[in-house]
Amino acid sequence: MTVEQLYEALEERFPRSLSCMWDHDGKMVLPEGRREVKKVLCCLDCTDGAIEKAKAEGCELIVSHHSLLFRPLNALDREEPNARRALELYSSGIALFSFHTRFDCGKGGVNDELSALFGLEEVCSFPVEGLPMGRIGKLPKTLSAKELAEKGFTTPNSYFSGKTPQGKPRRLTDYSTQIPDTCYIMADRKLLDVQIGDLPLKEQSFIKGFILMLKCVCLNFTDTTLYSYRDMEKQMNLSYATIAGLMKQCQEYGLVTPNEKGEGYTIRKGLFYNGYPPIEMPQNEWDKLKEAYTAIYEFCKSKRIICPPYDHRLIGRILGVSGCAEGIKERLEKRTDQLPDNISSLNYFVRIIDGKVLEPEPEKPKTVIYLD
């Protein structure tokens, strides 16, 4: 099979229609499409190490999950890491394909394999950005932290601290998991344990699954969505009647509350962990804050990067300097050319617009849970 034939086979299985609109994947480097493929190296990222491994193993093709050339190159400069890697691949005659979000969405792709690794039953997909990217299912049994560690989802760290009632050294173990930089949500145990009236367990599980879907269309790192039922219909691939019925139940049981002026909805606090303090929206500034954050979000989207999480204090500074959403857009277009791949805080845009950086608020002490 040639390089081109293999790409056609992969694209038939994982078509471009499964890629998010901001994603850039497919053929990254193609020195010779008619070259026969005997060895393929698969990796998460096409790093220098992956390229050296492919050369050492005599691979004609690398298939990576993340795109090497996610953003366009301004020049083929060997000082630029991704340009150097692309040139190295081309001169070595090694092709590179990247299938990012379509591997996440496609049948038999990354998320299906993760579901299988968990042993999930009754697995079904739910939409993220209008695509069937998410997976939700039932565990055949409750998994302990130790069992998760055995599956590779958490890392155990054991140590001795204090003594047992018998006077022996007390052994403690905590479990940690690596949190990705973007595109994730963290559900609190309260979401699983919450009792929804006297509804049957199956119906409660269905409502909780809907809450997960609702979380996926919330503002980045918040529990607030600005979508109407019609907007949700497009994003969730559910009927208007189904969404209306589920939202009515969620509001009746206090799981979701409508925002002021009918502008979207907010999920009950405590069901998800956002990594940031709860956001309190001043009622008289709701529209302005919404427009200001949306302007930055759309700007980031146009540059193919993830917008940093919402922060009322930082948005207030940006809005105070710019005056309105149009002012924010104008300043960003004039004062920015290229953006870094990862922007962790809106302080980046405060610096661009105001020339200053707000000092971060002091962090609250973290809670660590120890398990015997």
Convert 272-292 to b/e letters by CB count within 10 Å (16 or more is b).
Answer: bebeeeebebeeeebebbbeb
Cα-Cα end-to-end distance for the chain: 54
Written as tens digits, the pLDDT of the chain (372 aa) is 899 999 999 999 999 889 888 888 889 999 988 899 999 999 988 988 899 999 999 999 999 998 888 877 777 888 788 889 999 999 999 999 999 999 999 888 999 988 888 888 888 887 777 788 888 888 888 777 677 667 666 666 676 767 777 888 777 766 666 655 555 677 887 888 889 999 988 888 889 999 999 998 887 667 888 888 988 888 877 889 999 999 999 999 999 999 876 678 999 988 887 654 444 444 555 677 878 888 888 888 777 677 787 887 888 888 888 888 888 888 888 887 777 777 888 888 888 888 765 555 555 554 444 444
For residue 272, the SS3 value is strand
DSSP letter string over 29-55? Answer: E-S-TT-B---EEEESS--HHHHHHHH
pLDDT of residue 221: 66
Residue type, 295: A
Integer Cα distance of 297 and 226 in angstroms:
13
Give the position of tokens 């697995």. 123
Give the residue from 273, 275, 114 showing the smallest Cα distance to 191: 273
- Fold match flag (3-102 vs 179-275): no
pLDDT of residue 179: 56
The pairing of strands 224-225 and 95-98 is unpaired
pLDDT of residue 261: 67
Considering the segment(s) 179-275 as one domain, its CATH architecture is Orthogonal Bundle (1.10)
- The tokens describing 235, both together, are 């994003």
Give the residue from 104, 109, 113 showing the smallest Cα distance to 134: 104
DSSP 8-state class, residue 368: -
pLDDT in tens, 316-366: 888 888 888 888 888 888 887 777 777 888 888 888 888 765 555 555 554
pLDDT of residue 152: 66
pLDDT of residue 362: 52
Task: Give 87: exposed, middle or buried? Use CB within 10 Å, 0-12, 13-18, 19+.
Answer: middle
DSSP 8-state class, residue 203: H
262's CB contacts (< 8 A; 6+ apart) are none
pLDDT of residue 39: 94
Q: What is the CATH number of domain 3-102?
A: 3.40.1390.30
Integer Cα distance of 243 and 234 in angstroms:
11
- The tokens describing 46, both together, are 């096409």
DSSP letter string over 4-35? Answer: HHHHHHHHHHS-GGGS-TT---EEEE-S-TT-
List the domain boundaries for the chain.
3-102, 179-275, 284-354
DSSP3 helix / strand / coil % (the chain, rounded to 5): 40, 15, 40
How many residues make up the chain in this entry? 372
pLDDT in tens, 90-115: 999 999 999 999 999 988 899 998 88
For residue 269, the SS3 value is coil
Query: What predicted TM-score, i.e. pTM, was given to this entire model?
Result: 0.48
Convert 213-240 to b/e letters by CB count within 10 Å (16 or more is b).
Answer: bbbbbbbebbbbbbbeeeebbebbebee
